[in-house]
Each structure stands twice: as structure tokens, then as C-alpha cells.
């Protein structure tokens, strides 16, 4: 601050407004802080109070969460860096206590409300650290100014100087208020631009990262101006006036540039915002997307009206979302149990359909103005143990977080949270569990939300899921409805003494008998009109069906599908209705349906059995194209042209409705079907899956048959030249490189879960041409067959029952013999394995196969074939060990080299050389 200038002053700021921006900033704080936070707001806060509290936080967490300590230190850095600012202002004007108190009170409030969301507080602290390094060295400047303050000055000049200094105060108050609104629920349509600094401010809104960049630029110019202003005690009036005018012009010019925008620019900004949202969604979902569940709608949407009108559900739904309560931690902690409703019913009751109806009902009623100021969002997840991705609790929260982010993708507070999350510091490729929960918790704090969870019995960690759900409900006014079976063990924390919590709505057959009756009556009458039961039938039989259902909506639905099967004649359908009591219960019905399936021709029964096997005991879930190829593998018993129709599309009709095909996903209609097929009750059926060893033996046979007969016996892609030429090293030294790792088969143990994920496809290190086509585009089943047949075979051998059952467990033997007898097929398999980054190894299969020789008579056909197979398998295993030892590194880089290794040194090469094959030489 120059002490020697002309006494006349340039009117850079309206002299009638001595320091208007300080008061405007305080007014903005008063207008923005929500009612629930006003009691804890300290408008008399100062740096001593704030630094003491930050020091206490660090001391309490010294041996705990280091992230909290790091955040406290970065807040402390900002406080210490900015505190001397007020000392400088005090040299210009009489400093009002409220300017200090309200500013530090706001900083203190933001620190407190962000502590429940540690992930975001870390990002916020990083921003503060950045600000602390940009702002001027106020302490040094204050000491210089204090030494020069004894000189006589024109007081009016210092008023204008204080006005210029107030701009940085307003800028920081602005960013603190915007950060504050991220961590609480403000009024609907709350605008981040709380302060209006001049008439050029526009209603155009920009996300937080853009606004923070704007702030950084303003702070940098503030520092440059202030350092110039104070670098010399004696300065020329013209230079000071010009510099101040230039600084003020910059501030207004930046505001104009920031506010002006065209429609094209706005569209570009919107596109960038949605890309940010998409990036966070990919971060939340992790390596693979999780489907919330197949929303196969009921044929009778009104069949759930009785539940939507029930007193308990309506009382839970209509409780208003109150913004004051949503920002009050004590209130949320005290009543969270009353916002969780458990709906319980037996297997097959129709809980999933009810959950779909509830989701749609909540979404439809969200616009009710009496419910809350902001329409509540609804997130849904359906647990399904038939799919590993849909049974893990973490994936449930991933999916619901993505659903809510999609719903709120245009909300400003949510977009600011996304921008805060995407700051460059420590952003992982995929979110871990704690980060998912913190992000979801923030979304629930920002917006009123319903959570609908179905099938929690099929969650892999029920206790863990319920504990996490309780934490979410404690920290927000979220309302959750959970569908389960009656035997669900609800944790004690959901109980609340002297109240009726936990709230449980038990459903029995009396609740849905009328709905089932209406459903069955309408469909059976329609079928009768269409002639499914012949020319004449006693329609009084229809009324007996609803009574036989005993409240099981699933039973009624499966019966209707069974009756519509083309396998049945009209007389047989009438007979079923006449003897409906014999099919009472799901097991009896499934037994009858399997009996009907046994009438199909042999090749169709093979398809049905195989699809049951693939859906029940896969190593990895397959896409529809891969399953289609798996069901169409070569079999000598299947006549030509048997697969003329689309197998996948025909499965629902072929299986009497036991299988469904929706959204390119094939699955059992209900998990109870798989349970029945795997139970001892079904073992008399030819479709039974009770013998797991036999199932894996047949699946191994399908994979081997595909490799032996369906995969072309030639290089899978163009041969790449040998560089350098491959010659077996005479020293026996290994060719393994840093890329050489365990083959991966050991990690896919035979005792692993059925849905163990295979290694994901690895992108090629070379840039792909636009015209490049993946080598397995027309071989959708190749990846699974190549990598998983050893695992299926290992499980078949390890689970093998008594010797008398070897007829079924040796189902893989013909296909394995055919595969081992073709060196071309073996070489294609080895190439495929290396292309999938999983070099093959068969060492653990040789021993169990050899052990079988003592149990199978050597003179029998199977005994002779087994001995040939064991010999070939032992030779192949040794060759693979040698291949891996000597050439693994180069084959990982160029798998096609397996077709170019000329090993012949006076004998026949094991691996065929493709050039010789083309010329008709050798294998």
C-alpha cells in the first residue's frame, strides 16, 4: 500500500459504497445457512477457535484414520494462510467483528458437515491447499504495510483499497457457500451463484470445476495486484491508479466473459457435464455392469393393487420428506428404524412382482406436492443368487448409486459433487466399497429417496448388507422397503425400544388369493375360448385352480405356462385341471413339467438338459451368443438340420416356460427351479442335476466337442513373422519374460464357486486398425471352451461318485479322445489360450485320469479308450510344460508362433507347422 501518492483519488469505486461487498457476503451467509445448522453456527468464530478444533480432530485421529488427519492439516494450512488478510484490511478501515466471525464460522460449518463424507472432504481439502498456495503471502504484506502505516495517508484512498480487497473475501465466501450446499439438502432449485457481484452476472450456471478455475484466475490476479501495490513505499500516483483500475476492470471483464454464452456453447457444456456423470457411473460400476434385475412385467399389472392399498405400506409411503429433518443429524439418528419396512412372504408368493409394482408406484407418486418440496427418487435392486454379480451386497449399492446419479444428473449440487470427486488427486479406476457407500450416502443426503430391495435372502452377505443399509438410513431421511422370506434374521439395531420397530409386514395366502383367482380366471377363460381345452369343458374346473395355488403366485404362473405348452394335448390339459390337487406345491408341479419335457425328441431333450446344466454350474456366466454356440456343438447322435431354428428364442417354449429369455439374458424363471433340479427329489428324471460330477462331465464334453469339431483347424488369425526365428535354446534356458506369470488355471480351482469370473479380455498393446476384427468374432464360445474345459473336467474327476456311476461321469471320454487325436485342434486351442493371456497347463488332470484306469475294466471299450486318452494326455501335458518353459514369453507376444515352430530334428514334430500342413506335408 503506497504511502506517498497524490491526495486526489480516482473514483474506481463508488464513494457512496465504502465497503459494500463485506456486508453483502455476510448477508449471503445468513440467507444460505439452513435452519438445521444455525444452532451450531458460530458467528463469533475466530482463527484460535478453528485451529483448536482442527488440532483436536488431528489428535483424536492420530492413530486412526490418516485421511482425517491429512484433511485437518490442509484446513489448518488455509486458515493460517488467510488469517493475516483481516490484519491488512484493518489497516485500511475499522474492521468489524462480524466480517471475521461469519467468515470463519462458515469455514467451520463446512468442515463439520463434510466430515460424514470423508471421500469428498479429502477432495475439498485438496482445493483448500491449492487456494492456500495461490493467495498472496498476507503475513509478509501485513508486516510491510504495518511498518509504513505511521506515514500520513488520505483515508478515502484506503476506503477504496478496502473495497478492492473485499473482492477476494466475496470470492472465497462464494466458494465456501457452494461447497456447503453439496453436503446438505437445500431448497429445490438452489442456485450456486449466491452472490451477485455486479450487473453482468448471468443466470448461466457452470459446474464446480469451471467455477474453481475461474476463482484460481481471480486469486492469481489479486495476488499480482496486491504484491505490486505493496512492493515499494513510494509510488507514482498514475501507476497506482492505473494498476487499481486495471485490476478492477479485470474483475468485471472476467465476470462478463464468465456469464456470457451462446446456445452452442451451452450445448457443449451440457455434453461435458454428462461425460463427467458417465465417467463417475463407470467408476461406480467397476469392471462389469450390474443389472438391477430383469423387469419382466406381470401379465396382470392390477394383481398387486391390494398391496399398494394396504394400510402399512401407505403409512410408510406417505410420510412427508422434511428438509429441516433431513439436515438434522440427531433427528435422523433417532427415527431411522421407522423408515425401514420389511415385507415377508414365503417362496413363490410373488414378492418380486410386488417389488416391481412398488417401484413403479413410488415413481408415479413422486410428483405429489404434498409429499415434499422435491420429488423423491426411487432406486431398485433385485438380488439373484443365480448370478454372482447380482448376489453381492456391494453390487447392490453400486447399482443403486448409478441409478440415482442418472436421475439427478442435471441437479446442480449433484454435479458439483461429481466435479469434486473427479479432481485429479487420488482418483481410482474403480470405486471400492467405502467410496461407493460415501458417494451413495451423499446422494441420499442431497435428495429425498426411496430404496426398494427385493430378494435379500439371496444376498451373499445378508448381515453385511443390512448393516450398510442401517448406516445409510442413519445419515439421511431415506426410506427403504425390503422384501424377504419369513426366516430373515433382522439385526438388533433395527429394533427400537418402546416402539413397534422393526416394522414387518407379513404376507400370507389370504392376502393374494383374490389376486391369484382373478389372474387365473382371466387367463384360463381366454385359453378355453382359444380351444386349448378342446371343444367343450366344464369351466367350473377353473375356480379350483386358485384354491390349489395356496397363495403361491409362482405356482399359478408356472401352471399357466405348463398348460400352454404345445407338448400337451387338449385332453391332457383338461385332465390336469381335473386332478389339480396332484400338482399342488411347486415340487409336484415341476415333476409334472419335467415329465412332459421327456416327450420331446432326443435332440431337443439334449438341448433342454444342456441349458439346465449351463445355467446351474457354469464357471462363468455366458452371453446369449456363446450359449447358443454351446447348445449347438457337434454330436454324432444329432441329425443334420436339427438346429435350423434359433435355439435361444425357442427355449421358453421348449422348456414349458421354465427358462426365460429377456433383454438378451437367459435364466431360470425362478431360483426354485434350479433348487429342485439339484435336489435328490429330481434324481429319477433324466433332466436331474443332482449328480454334480455328471453335470461337469457333460459340460466338459461340450467344450471339448466344440474345440475338436467346431473350431477351424488352422491359425485363428493371420500368421505374424518370426522375429527372431524360434529355435529351442540348446542351453535349456527359459525364454520366460516379465510378462510370464502363473497360467491362471491354479487360480480357477475345481473347488471355486460356479460363477468364478474368467480373466477379462486384455486389450492388444498394438494400436488396432479400424478394419481389425477380433479373431474370435465368429467363435463366441471359444473363450469359454478353451479356458474352462480343464476346470469342468477337474470338477468331474474330483466329485466322482462310486465306480458304478462311471457311465455318466465318463461322458467326456469320446470328446476328449477326439480332441487329443487332432494335433491341429490342439494347436488351435494352445493359440487361443495364449491369445486370452492364460497359457494352458494340464498337469493336475493326468493323475486323476490315471487313477480311473484301476476302476474301469481294461478289456471294456471305455477302458481301452481311457488308456489311450491317458497316454495322449500325459504327452500333451509334458509338451505344454516344455512350451511354457521355453517359449512362454514370445508366445504371449505372438501366439501364432505356435504354428511356426519347426521342432523336427530327425523325428516328427509335435506341433504342426502350418506351411507344411498347407503343402500337405506332416500332420
Identify the pLDDT of residue 260. Answer: 54
Task: Give the pLDDT band of residue 387 (cuts 50, 70, 90).
Answer: confident
Task: Give the pLDDT band of residue 768 (cuts 50, 70, 90).
Answer: very low
Output the nine-digit C-alpha cell for 420: 469434486
Task: Give the pLDDT band of residue 814 (cuts 50, 70, 90).
Answer: very high
Average pLDDT rounded to a whole number, residues 746-767: 45
Distances 496 to 334, 335, 478, 492 between C-alpha atoms, Å: 9, 9, 17, 9
Closest CA to 83 of 58, 54, 59, 112: 54
d(CA 298, CA 733): 66
Structure-model confidence comparison of residues 469 and 141, the more confident one: 469
Which residue's entry shows cell 412385467?
297
Task: Give the pLDDT band of residue 287 (cuts 50, 70, 90).
Answer: low
Q: How many helices (H) and strands (E) does the chain have?
A: 38, 7
Between the two ends of the chain, the Cα-to-Cα distance in Å is 92
- Angle at the Cα of 12 from the Cα atoms of 6 and 18, rounded to 5 degrees: 95
Which residue's entry shows cell 392376502?
511
Identify the pLDDT of residue 732. Answer: 41
Residue 239, CB half-sphere, CA atoms under 13 Å: how many? 13
- Which bin fits 455, alpha (ψ -120 to 50), beta or left (φ > 0)? left
Output the nine-digit C-alpha cell for 302: 392390477
Is 745:791 a contact under the CB 8 Å cutoff?
A: yes
Structure-model confidence comparison of residues 120 and 7, the more confident one: 120
d(CA 270, CA 206): 9
Average pLDDT rounded to a whole number, residues 802-821: 78
Q: Is the per-residue pLDDT at 192 higher than 50? A: no
Closest CA to 837 of 754, 708, 740, 723: 740
In 476-583, which ranges are E strands?
479-484, 503-506
Identify the pLDDT of residue 265. Answer: 64
Chain Cα centroid distance, residue 287: 8
Task: Give the pLDDT band of residue 569 (cuts 50, 70, 90).
Answer: very high
Output the nine-digit C-alpha cell for 512: 393374494
Q: Is the per-residue pLDDT at 475 higher than 50? A: yes
Say whether the peptide bond before residue 502 is cis (omega within 30 degrees of 0): yes
Q: Is the per-residue pLDDT at 19 higher than 90? A: no
d(CA 237, CA 2): 9
Average pLDDT rounded to a whole number, residues 671-689: 94
Identify the pLDDT of residue 62. Answer: 58
Q: What is the DSSP string of 462-479?
A: HHHHHHHHHHHHHTS--E
Task: Identify the weakest region by mean pLDDT among 291-295, 383-387, 398-402, 653-657.
Answer: 291-295
Closest CA to 253 of 217, 203, 227: 217
Identify the pLDDT of residue 643. Answer: 56
d(CA 485, CA 466): 15
Structure-model confidence comparison of residues 369 and 906, the more confident one: 369
Distances 294 to 382, 484, 625, 755 between C-alpha atoms, Å: 8, 18, 18, 19
Digit-coded pLDDT (tens) for 695-751: 999 999 999 999 999 999 999 888 877 665 554 544 444 444 334 343 445 444 444
Structure-model confidence comparison of residues 17 and 905, the more confident one: 905
Output the nine-digit C-alpha cell for 58: 488431528
Burial class (CB in 10 A: 0-12, 13-18, 19+), 424: exposed
| Average pLDDT along the chain | 83
**Global pTM value:** 0.84
Identify the pLDDT of residue 904. Answer: 57
Helix (H), strand (E) at residue 86 = helix 84-92
d(CA 439, CA 109): 20
Is 680:690 a contact under the CB 8 Å cutoff?
A: yes
Torsions phi, psi of 903, nearest 5? Answer: -90, -5
Most confident of 198-202, 227-231, 896-900: 896-900
Identify the pLDDT of residue 240. Answer: 73
- Angle at the Cα of 508 from the Cα atoms of 506 and 512, rounded to 5 degrees: 115
Q: Is the per-residue pLDDT at 762 higher than 90? A: no
Task: Identify the weakest region by mean pLDDT among 44-48, 89-93, 212-216, 771-775.
Answer: 771-775
Identify the pLDDT of residue 290. Answer: 57
- 3-class SS at 95? coil
Task: Identify the weakest region by mean pLDDT among 255-269, 492-506, 539-553, 699-713.
Answer: 255-269
Task: Identify the weakest region by mean pLDDT among 190-204, 328-342, 533-547, 628-642.
Answer: 190-204
| Beta-bridge partners for 450 | 378, 479
Digit-coded pLDDT (tens) for 878-888: 999 988 888 88
Most confident of 138-142, 292-296, 437-441, 851-855: 437-441
d(CA 657, CA 347): 18
Distances 878 to 663, 735, 846, 866 between C-alpha atoms, Å: 45, 17, 10, 18
Q: Is the per-residue pLDDT at 144 higher than 50? A: yes
- 3-class SS at 553? helix
Task: Identify the weakest region by mean pLDDT among 20-24, 45-49, 357-361, 382-386.
Answer: 20-24
* Percent over 70 (pLDDT), the chain: 80
Average pLDDT rounded to a whole number, residues 242-263: 69
d(CA 869, CA 649): 37
Average pLDDT rounded to a whole number, residues 809-829: 92
d(CA 546, CA 577): 11
Closest CA to 85 of 222, 196, 197, 195: 222
d(CA 809, CA 696): 8
Distances 666 to 366, 383, 650 between C-alpha atoms, Å: 33, 16, 11
Structure-model confidence comparison of residues 154 and 403, the more confident one: 403
Radius of gyration of the chain (CA): 36
Q: Kindly give the residue spans of alpha helices, DSSP state H, lying in 799-860.
A: 806-809, 813-820, 823-835, 843-852
Identify the pLDDT of residue 162. Answer: 83
Is 53:107 a contact under the CB 8 Å cutoff?
A: no
Amino acid at each position: 500500500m503506497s504511502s506517498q501518492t497524490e491526495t486526489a483519488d480516482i473514483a474506481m469505486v463508488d464513494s457512496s459504497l465504502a465497503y459494500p461487498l463485506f456486508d453483502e457476503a455476510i448477508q449471503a451467509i445468513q440467507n444460505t445457512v439452513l435452519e438445521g445448522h444455525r444452532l451450531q453456527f458460530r458467528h463469533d468464530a475466530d482463527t484460535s477457535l478453528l485451529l483448536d478444533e482442527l488440532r483436536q480432530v488431528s489428535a483424536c485421529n492420530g492413530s486412526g484414520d490418516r485421511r482425517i488427519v491429512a484433511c485437518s492439516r490442509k484446513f489448518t494450512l488455509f486458515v493460517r494462510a488467510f488469517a493475516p488478510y483481516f490484519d491488512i484490511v484493518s489497516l485500511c478501515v475499522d474492521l468489524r467483528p462480524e466480517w471475521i466471525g461469519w467468515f470463519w464460522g462458515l469455514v467451520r460449518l463446512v468442515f463439520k458437515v463434510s466430515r460424514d463424507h470423508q471421500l469428498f472432504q479429502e477432495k475439498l481439502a485438496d482445493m483448500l491447499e491449492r487456494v492456500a498456495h495461490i493467495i498472496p503471502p498476507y503475513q509478509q504484506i501485513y508486516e510491510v504495510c504495518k511498518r509504513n502505516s505511521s506515514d500520513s495517508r488520505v483515508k478515502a484512498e484506503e476506503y477504496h483499497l478496502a473495497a478492492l480487497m473485499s473482492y477476494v473475501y466475496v470470492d472465497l465466501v462464494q466458494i465456501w457457500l457452494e461447497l456447503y450446499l453439496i453436503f446438505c439438502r437445500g431448497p429445490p432449485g438452489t442456485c450456486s451463484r449466491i452472490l451477485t457481484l455486479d450487473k453482468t452476472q448471468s443466470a448461466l450456471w457452470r459446474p464446480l470445476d469451471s467455477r474453481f478455475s475461474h476463482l484460481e484466475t481471480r486469486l492469481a490476479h489479486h495476488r499480482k495486484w496486491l504484491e505490486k501495490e505493496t512492493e515499494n513505499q513510494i509510488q507514482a500516483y498514475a501507476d497506482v491508479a492505473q494498476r487499481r483500475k486495471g485490476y478492477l476492470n479485470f474483475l468485471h471483464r472476467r465476470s462478463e466473459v464468465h456469464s456470457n454464452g451462446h446456445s452452442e456453447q451451452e450445448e457443449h457444456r451440457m455434453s461435458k457435464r454428462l461425460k463427467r456423470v458417465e465417467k463417475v457411473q463407470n467408476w461406480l460400476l467397476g469392471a462389469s455392469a450390474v443389472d438391477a434385475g430383469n423387469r419382466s412385467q406381470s401379465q396382470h399389472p392390477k394383481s398387486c393393487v391390494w398391496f399398494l392399498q394396504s394400510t402399512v405400506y401407505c403409512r410408510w409411503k406417505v410420510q412427508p420428506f422434511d428438509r429441516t429433518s433431513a439436515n438434522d443429524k440427531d433427528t435422523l439418528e433417532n427415527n431411522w428404524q421407522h423408515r425401514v419396512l420389511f415385507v415377508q412372504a414365503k417362496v413363490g408368493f410373488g414378492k418380486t412382482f410386488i417389488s416391481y409394482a412398488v417401484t413403479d408406484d413410488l415413481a408415479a407418486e413422486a410428483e405429489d406436492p404434498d409429499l415434499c418440496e422435491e420429488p423423491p427418487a426411487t432406486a431398485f435392486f433385485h438380488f439373484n443368487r443365480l448370478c454372482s454379480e447380482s448376489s453381492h451386497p456391494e453390487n447392490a449399492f453400486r447399482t443403486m448409486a448409478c441409478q440415482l446419479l442418472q436421475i439427478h444428473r442435471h441437479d446442480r449440487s449433484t454435479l458439483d459433487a461429481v466435479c469434486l470427486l473427479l479432481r485429479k488427486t487420488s482418483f481410482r479406476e474403480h470405486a471400492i466399497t467405502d467410496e461407493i457407500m460415501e458417494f451413495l450416502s451423499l446422494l441420499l443426503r442431497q435428495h429425498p429417496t426411496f430404496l426398494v430391495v427385493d430378494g435379500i435372502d439371496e444376498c451373499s452377505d445378508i448381515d453385511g448388507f443390512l448393516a450398510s443399509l442401517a448406516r445409510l438410513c442413519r445419515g439421511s431421511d431415506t426410506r427403504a422397503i425390503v422384501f424377504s422370506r419369513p426366516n430373515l434374521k433382522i439385526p438388533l439395531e433395527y429394533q427400537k425400544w418402546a416402539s413397534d420397530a422393526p416394522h414387518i409386514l407379513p404376507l400370507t395366502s389370504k392376502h393374494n388369493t383374490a389376486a391369484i383367482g382373478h389372474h387365473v380366471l382371466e387367463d384360463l377363460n381366454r385359453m378355453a375360448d382359444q380351444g386349448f381345452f378342446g371343444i367343450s369343458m366344464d369351466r367350473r374346473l377353473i375356480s379350483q385352480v386358485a384354491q390349489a395355488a395356496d397363495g403361491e403366485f409362482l405356482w399359478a404362473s408356472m401352471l399357466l405356462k405348463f398348460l400352454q405348452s404345445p407338448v400337451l394335448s387338449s385332453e391332457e390339459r383338461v385332465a390336469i385341471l381335473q386332478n389339480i390337487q396332484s400338482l399342488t406345491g411347486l415340487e409336484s408341479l415341476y415333476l409334472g413339467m419335467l415329465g412332459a419335457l421327456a416327450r420331446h425328441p432326443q435332440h431337443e431333450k439334449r438341448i433342454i438338459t444342456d441349458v439346465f446344466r449351463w445355467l446351474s454350474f457354469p464357471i462363468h456366466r455366458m452371453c446369449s451368443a456363446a450359449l447358443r454356440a454351446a447348445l449347438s456343438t457337434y454330436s454324432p447322435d444329432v441329425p443334420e438340420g436339427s438346429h435350423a431354428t434359433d435355439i435361444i428364442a425357442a427355449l421358453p417354449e421348449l422348456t414349458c416356460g421354465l427358462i426365460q429369455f429377456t433383454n438378451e439374458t437367459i435364466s431360470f424363471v425362478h431360483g426354485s427351479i434350479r433348487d429342485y433340479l439339484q435336489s435328490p427329489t429330481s434324481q429319477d428324471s433324466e433332466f436331474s442335476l443332482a449328480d454334480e460330477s455328471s453335470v461337469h462331465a457333460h459340460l466338459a464334453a461340450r467344450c471339448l466337442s466344440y474345440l475338436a469339431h467346431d473350431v477351424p483347424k488352422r491359425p485363428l488369425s493371420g500368421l505374424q513373422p518370426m522375429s527372431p526365428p524360434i529355435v529351442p535354446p540348446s542351453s535349456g534356458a527359459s525364454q520366460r519374460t516379465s510378462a510370464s506369470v502363473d497360467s491362471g488355471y491354479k487360480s480357477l480351482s475345481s473347488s471355486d464357486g460356479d460363477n468364478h469370473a474368467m480373466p477379462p479380455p486384455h486389450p492388444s498393446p498394438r494400436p488396432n486398425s479400424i478394419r481389425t476384427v477380433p479373431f474370435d468374432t465368429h467363435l463366441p464360445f471359444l473363450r469359454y471352451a478353451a479356458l474352462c474345459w480343464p476346470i469342468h473336467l477337474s470338477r468331474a474327476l474330483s466329485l466322482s461318485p462310486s465306480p458304478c456311476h462311471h457311465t455318466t461321469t465318463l461322458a467326456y471320454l469320446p470328446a476328449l479322445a477326439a480332441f487329443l487325436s487332432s494335433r491341429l485342434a490342439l494347436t488351435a486351442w494352445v493359440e487361443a489360450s495364449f491369445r486370452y493371456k492364460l497359457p494352458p497347463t494340464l498337469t493336475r488332470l493326468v493323475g486323476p485320469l490315471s487313477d480311473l484306469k484301476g476302476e474301469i475294466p481294461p478289456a471294456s471299450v471305455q477302458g481301452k479308450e481311457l488308456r489311450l486318452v491317458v497316454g495322449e494326455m500325459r504327452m500333451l501335458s509334458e509338451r505344454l510344460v516344455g512350451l511354457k518353459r521355453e517359449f512362454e514369453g514370445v508366445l504371449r507376444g505372438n501366439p501364432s508362433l505356435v504354428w511356426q515352430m519347426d521342432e523336427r530334428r530327425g523325428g516328427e514334430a509335435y506341433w504342426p507347422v502350418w506351411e507344411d500342413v498347407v503343402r500337405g506335408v506332416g500332420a
